[in-house]
Structure 1
Amino acid sequence: MIGELEERQAAVRSRVAGLEQEIAALTVRLEDERNRLERLTVTRETLDELAAEGVAVDAVAPLSMEVELVGGGRVVGVQTVTVWREGTTSADLPPVYRDIVDVIDDAPEPVQAKQIVPRIGLPAQTSKIEGNRSNLKRLVERGWLDEQTPGLFTASSRRTVPGSAR
């Protein structure tokens, strides 16, 4: 009987040691995730502050990538879309946004996101269409485009499009 109890005690002791190791590993993972959450929270707060100050921060590129700022200068890892104002042209936009505005400027009627994707050289995949729709909405917010009917985009009525009656 004593032998049986010792075997059971050894088995339980082994399970306890295994559980303690799992707890230690989970504690390390938990601390890593807490640190990641803290970094993301600070990043979000910083982006909110920048947005409140009127700084347009739209896409974060890998840190090794340099992106040219509209209006000169250089910054690492940020792509900006300027707010339209008198005297600005699509040439003042980052390339992907410039392509979108140019396609819409050339269109004789309102255009949907799914119509623009192949015209700017992207495959007509749902992910590309939705990403493009997000870019279109951003261009509406910044005054480059109008969306008078949901999902249909035109050049902004404030802008004069060369060669157009708009």
Structure 2
Amino acid sequence: MTRPDAQEPDSGAWLLNKIDARERALTGQIEQTQAEIDAMAAHLGELHEAIEHLRITRKTLLSLADEPGPEPAPPPPVVPDHPAYQQILDVFADLGRPLRARDLCEALDLPIVKKNTENIRAKLKHLVNQGILVETEPGLFAQPRPQPSR
């Protein structure tokens, strides 16, 4: 027998409590899944950016490859094998200034006679033809100045 003043548990409230609990659990799952989606979307954006950088790099490299490159440097001039040529170049290196054939004869302790100056002049002209020396004015020879780097 039931007592009229006793209350029976409300079966509807119990069911609503279960629904509330299930709703909270699903809301938590939604928030967690949304956070994962946001993280994956950010990672996807980084991947798209990285691949775009690679495409730009490829395009830049291909366009640079199509441009003409710098001219290859000419091979260094070869000093003739005779020791007199090396002696002449040593004098230029020691004095560091333009010289005439007569100046070289003096520096090499050769007598200043026509035979010696003409012989030295011929060697100087040969060094000019080889690109080792330059003739800055008629009869005046010097080592070429290095070209400034660009």
Tell me if both proteins adopt one fold, taking TM over 0.5 as the criterion.
no
Structure number with greater CO (CA < 8 Å, separation at least 6) is 2
Larger Cα-atom Rg: 2
The structure with the largest helix share of the pair is 2
TM-score interval, smaller chain: 0.3 to 0.5
Give the TM-score normalised by structure 1: 0.39
Give the TM-score normalised by structure 2: 0.43
